[in-house]
Structure 1
Amino acid sequence: MRIGLFAIAGAAPLDDLVAQVRLARDTGLDSVFFGHTASWDALMTAAVAGRELPDIEVGTAIVPTYPRHPLALASQALTAQAMTGGRFTLGIGPSHPQVIEGLHGIAYERPVRHVREYLSALRPLLRGEEVDHHGETLTAVGTLDAPGATPPPVIVSALGPAMLRAAGELADGTVTTWVGADTIADHIVPSITKAAEAAGRPAPRVLAGVIVALTNDPDGVRRDLADHFGPASDFPAYRAVLDRQGLTGVHETVIVGDEETVARHLRRFEDAGATDLLISPYGDPARLLKFAAALR
């Protein structure tokens, strides 16, 4: 199982984010994936970091699809792939109604259909093919000329059965959040793998995102995270996967405790079939990343 860092492309100067990638690389991790918020662009942040720091995979997890037309995103992704020497992975997803409608003023309609149509246009564009897509949720007509660029892998944020089928059939894998090892094993991996096999596609990549804290006060960390991330528990996609796990809030999915406890829980993700573990450190990042790299 590959182990990487998950970082938000925001709340810090751009140079500091590049320094996080340097720390991850020097520590021996395999990758750094950036989440997109109302700050630095996650895709551009990954591209800049990958340009400056060779020998580590960079990617997005994820950039929202509704605000970005496939032609525009394909152009950005091919640029990032060229800038990083082929070490870029594009993670996309529909995001949530609270973000797409509340912040962007775009209707969050038929997200699974939207993602299917988006991938149907995006993947050929990344391959340099002509696209003439007129769907129910979007239109994309044209092609891109990006000399020397190779299409990057595409992963999709998917938690529910319908989105996992779309990811398995049309993408290279999925990235999850607020999901424990048991749900990776009995829901995420079987669902996306079955869909990929039925579509004649290679085995999908499954990147499991998790917040990790080395601490002697697990309950205190969970309280802090409940205060910080509590509203996310009411996002429909997160609420559904939390209910599947019998959990009340996203703070209950974090992995906290001493070194032995954390190591035991992290290893369960490999047993569950995750191909990658994306760690979001809570506390001392350097200590946590060195600890995680040692588990490899």
Structure 2
Amino acid sequence: MPSFSVLVPFVPRRPEQLATYAALVHWTRASRLWQGQSLTVEAHQGFAHAAGTGFGVPTGLGVSLMPLRHPYEAAMQARSLALATGHSVLAGFGPGGRSLQSAMRGSPYDSPLTAAEEYVTIVRRLLHGEALDFVGQYYHCKGALPPSPAPDIQVGLGVLRPGMARLAGRLADAAITWLTPASYLRETVIPALREGAEAAGRPIPRLVAMVPMALPVPDLDMAEIALASNGPHMTAPHYIDMLGRAGIDVTSSDPLVNARSLIKGGAFLAGETDELVGQIKGFWDVGVDEVVINLTGIANIRGPQAAMRQVKTITTVLSALEETR
């Protein structure tokens, strides 16, 4: 059954900032608490801290950047988080941009797809209890994790375009998207996921869509909120390409024009509560298994408390909707 989850809409500077969001997931019908890559309070440690305050909840890492962590360490940290929280973990990974790859490795991946395939293969096999002697183009791993029972851990892959979607279909437990309109998921991502899964003779993986959105704020243009949420994405080549494939042009010299294109194209959801919920249902209707509520734009402009007020409103309505299904 389709579900909804919540993204921590800011980069935490203290682990206690996560507690209110963990409590929200604990007390509502939200499936999971998500956090993106953080270079301050690291997501694994922040979630473990929240569990220590009494709010252990299912968690999602969306997505951890591969160049920052060896896959053995990634598998170990994901299992450690599951043990610390007592709940399932969906650990998502992605290669990051070429500049990050160069900064961490000395040069970018010649083939991000090959690097992702090796990374996800190692992490999944380690978490399944295998002893590896893996030699790849980018990653080597000889060893195994010490046996230990733990809650369910799934491995996801960040997906924007068809090539990575086919790889996720072939290898991953979940595909995790960001800023992808429902129409693009239906027409491009899901067929590629299915193609990869069928080639591997396995079921299509779960699809998780991290969806930026906002309720109206009286003195703010919605385009300002969309820009605050996704400004850097609209200048990144891989996002420009994905959005172009989705029919959304973000190549204007005016950032606000590009932000309005996101709203018009359904990459950023905007509207009153009922309208917003209807748009979220549109993602479920095309086959998304989990919609992650992303209020980073509100948090960036008005702060975490304003974002929390909006996420409470949205989750209350979605929780009531789930109870009637």
TM-score, normalising length: structure 1: 0.91
User: What is aligned with 1:129?
Assistant: 130
Identify which of 306, 315, 323 aligns with 1:289.
315
Structure 2 vs 1, CA of residues 189 and 46 (structure 1 numbering), >3 Å: closer, same or farther?
Answer: farther
CA distance in structure 2 between the aligned counterparts of 1:264 and 1:106, rounded to whole angstroms = 46
Structure 2 vs 1, CA of residues 96 and 265 (structure 1 numbering), >3 Å: closer, same or farther?
Answer: same
Matches within 5 A, 1:79-98: 79-98=80-99
Matches within 5 A, 1:140-289: 140-149=141-150, 152-215=153-216, 220-227=221-228, 229-249=230-250, 251=259, 252=262, 253-281=267-295, 282=298, 283=307, 284=309, 285-289=311-315
Moved more, 118-127 or 245-254: 245-254
Amino acid aligned to 2:269:
I
Contact 2:86 2:151 in 1 (8 A): no
CA distance in structure 1 between the aligned counterparts of 2:248 and 2:64, rounded to whole angstroms = 26
1:7 deviation in Å?
1.6
1:175 deviation in Å?
0.7
Q: Which runs of 5+ in 2 are unaligned?
A: 251-257, 299-306
1:146 deviation in Å?
3.7
CA distance in structure 2 between the aligned counterparts of 1:149 and 1:224, rounded to whole angstroms = 40
TM-score, normalising length: structure 2: 0.83
1:216 deviation in Å?
5.8
Write the deviation string for residues 106-128 of structure 1: whole angstroms up to 9, x where unpaired.
Answer: 42212111001112222111122
Structure 2 vs 1, CA of residues 248 and 240 (structure 1 numbering), >3 Å: closer, same or farther?
Answer: same
The percentage of counterpart residues that share the same residue type is 24
CA distance in structure 2 between the aligned counterparts of 1:277 and 1:112, rounded to whole angstroms = 25
CA distance in structure 2 between the aligned counterparts of 1:78 and 1:228, rounded to whole angstroms = 31
Q: Secondary structure at the match of 2:278?
A: helix
Moved more, 125-134 or 43-52: 43-52
CA distance in structure 1 between the aligned counterparts of 2:20 and 2:247, rounded to whole angstroms = 38
Q: Which runs of 5+ in 1 are unaligned?
A: none
Contact 2:67 2:100 in 1 (8 A): no
Contact 2:88 2:151 in 1 (8 A): no
User: What is aligned with 2:21?
Assistant: 20
Name the count of aligned residue pairs: 294
Identify which of 43, 53, 56 aligns with 2:55.
53
Contact 2:8 2:33 in 1 (8 A): yes
Structure 2 vs 1, CA of residues 76 and 161 (structure 1 numbering), >3 Å: closer, same or farther?
Answer: same
Write the deviation string for residues 38-80 of structure 1: whole angstroms up to 9, x where unpaired.
Answer: 21112232344356324x4212111111221111111111111
